[in-house]
Chain A
Amino acid sequence: MATSVAEAGTARPVRTRFANVLFWRLVSIALVLGAWEIAGRIPVSFAFPPFSATFAAFVGIILDGTLPAAYLTTLQPLATGLVVSAVFGVMFGVLMGLSRTAEWALAPVFIVMQAAPMAALIPLVTFVYGIGLTAKVLAVCLLAAPVIVLNTYKAVRTVSPSLLDMCRSFLGTPLQQVTKVILPAAGPVIFAGLRLGVAAGFIGIVLAELLITPTGIGDIITYSSSIADYPTMYATIASLIVFAGVTVSILQQVETRFVRPEKRA
């Protein structure tokens, strides 16, 4: 029909546009890396290695297994914390969206948590929960949960009242109202909250590993900086940034693929 004609007409331009985007993206990456290389060679600071040295250090810690092992260590509390935050965060968020009482009791807590500099609480976590896995999981949750809860809560609250009236007038039960209208309607915003939560969780785990006990990635960063092995330190930090970026953009792909925001008005 009309749309298939339009698609056939735009297929080629779309592909060339994609190639264009890719080209300029590569150009911008090359510019940044080039600037890094030059700044490192001047040098701007003795603690700032050029890109080439950093990259060499990166290959080195991958080949000797340090970096993969560190990631395995780091990912454990990160994944645990994120799963816990996602499950309970969405649950609390939906509850707050549905019930005035739950909103009254919980919303201020999470709003304060989101606004407060949670990093400052991490030493307190150590004080209460020690330096083990629990403390690190908790650090991830502290940073990830508020944004997940608040996004879910807002998403549930902003579901179109006319859709709710519609569900009620066609004899939907309160449970059906939640499962067939509220959750699907709130889905995209909840998912966006989860994506932000994952990004916050990364901050949480790095802070935990730097402030509680140096393990995993935090250990490499702390150790290499203490022995002035700056290329390794920068390589680790850069790998973390790339890893977080890739994770979040994969989530974004999943979101557009499965939550289908394009099917919405």
Chain B
Amino acid sequence: MTQRLARPPRLTLAATTDAPNIVEVRRISKSYGNQIEALRDVSLAFPRGRLTTLLGPSGCGKTTLLKIIAGLIPADAGDVYVNGRVVTGPGPERAFVFQDFALLPWANVLRNVAFGLELRGMAKDEREALAAKYIRDVGLAGFEKRYPHELSGGMKQRVGLARALAVNADVILMDEPFSAVDEQTRRKFQEDLLQLLAVERKTVIFVTHSIEEAAYLSDQIVLLTRRPGTVAKVLEPRIDRSHGPEAVRRDPAYLDAVEEIWAMLKQYLA
């Protein structure tokens, strides 16, 4: 992540692909047991090549929705479509970045990043060469032989991101990836993520608690209501990212988005 790349205008990108929405969620409902209704009748579209954040009060079902899209848990009703096909389980076109990193403590950075490829049966030399490339891309060159317990939270999450990028999935699902990371590291990571995504052309579905983070990163922001989670509002802030991160944080569109999200979420506070 050495060179600074402005984000490409994504509208043209979407127009060049056949289906504009790479992921579609149609009328998803999910309950845990009889008591807890986590999601009710959620329908959403995730445009190809865009970053969408899911934002909502704690316990409103964000993680649940993300895991349903990942195919890790089944929905009670409704379907998820990826590239027009119904999701029945995890698939090669989706990769997950975990809130608690989910790194193998007994494996070094290189093996952790290559783990998705290892599970697919790729030969050792080949997968380690690929992993080494993504380790450099996330800025961890020189740490290949380190173990997770030797890394800071921010570095661990870079490993998690590199692992997701290495399997070359079109869709990256991130569940509060920066929540266990301090504020400075978090900002740096957000900037790096945007640059990386500009190069890699991924579709990202991103769960966060942070209003600023959502406004800063997103092409599309989905606001969910309190449990049972339903879609309250979908925002599409048109933020000009071509003048760098400082300019974004002063952009009126960014400030409006922050204001609008806050006005919406405020009502859920007791």
Which A residues have a C-beta under 8 Å from some C-beta of B?
A: 3, 160, 162-163, 165-173, 176, 180-181, 184-185, 187, 260, 263-265
B46 on the A face (CB < 8 A): no
Number of interface residues of B (CB under 8 A): 27
B11 within 8 A of A: no
B residues near A162, Cβ cutoff 8 Å: 98, 100, 102
Q: Which of B70, B104, B147, B148 is in CB contact (< 8 Å) with A169?
A: B70
10 smallest beta-carbon distances between A and B, as pairs: A166-B102, A170-B116, A169-B96, A264-B105, A172-B119, A162-B102, A169-B90, A265-B149, A265-B105, A263-B147
Rounded to whole angstroms, the CA-CA distance of A187 and B95 in the bound complex is 27
Smallest CB separation, A165 vs chain B (Å): 6
Q: Does B120 contact A (CB under 8 A)?
A: yes
Task: Count how many pairs of residues, one from A and one from B, have CB atoms less than 8 Å apart in the complex.
Answer: 63
Supposing A165-B98, A263-B147, A265-B148 touch, asked if A171 and B90 sit within 8 A by C-beta, the answer is yes
Interchain CA distance A169-B70 in the complex, whole Å: 7
Known A263-B106, A264-B149, A265-B149; judge A170-B119 contact (CB<8 A): yes
The reply to whether B102 and A263 contact each other, CB–CB distance below 8 Å, is: no
Contact of B120 among A169, A171, A260, A265 (CB under 8 A): A171
CA distance A165 to B149 in the complex (A): 20
A234 to B128, CA, bound (A): 60
A-B contact pairs, 23 of them (CB 8 A): A3-B150, A165-B67, A165-B72, A165-B98, A166-B96, A167-B119, A169-B71, A169-B90, A170-B96, A170-B163, A171-B120, A176-B119, A180-B119, A181-B104, A185-B106, A187-B106, A260-B106, A263-B106, A263-B147, A263-B149, A264-B105, A264-B149, A265-B105
Bound complex: CA A123 to CA B255 (Å): 82
Q: CB within 8 A of A170: which of B100, B105, B106, B115?
A: B115
Query: Is B205 in contact with chain A by the CB < 8 A criterion?
Result: no
Nearest residue in B to A165 (C-beta to C-beta)?
B72
CA distance A73 to B96 in the complex (A): 57
Tell me if A171 and B119 are in contact (CB < 8 A): yes
CB nearest neighbor in B for A259: B106
Taking A165-B96, A265-B149 as known contacts, 13 extra A-B pairs with beta carbons closer than 8 A to each other, sorted by chain A number, are: A162-B98, A163-B102, A165-B98, A166-B96, A169-B96, A170-B90, A180-B115, A185-B104, A185-B105, A263-B106, A263-B147, A264-B106, A265-B148
B167 at the interface (CB under 8 A from A): yes
A71 → chain B closest CB, angstroms? 37
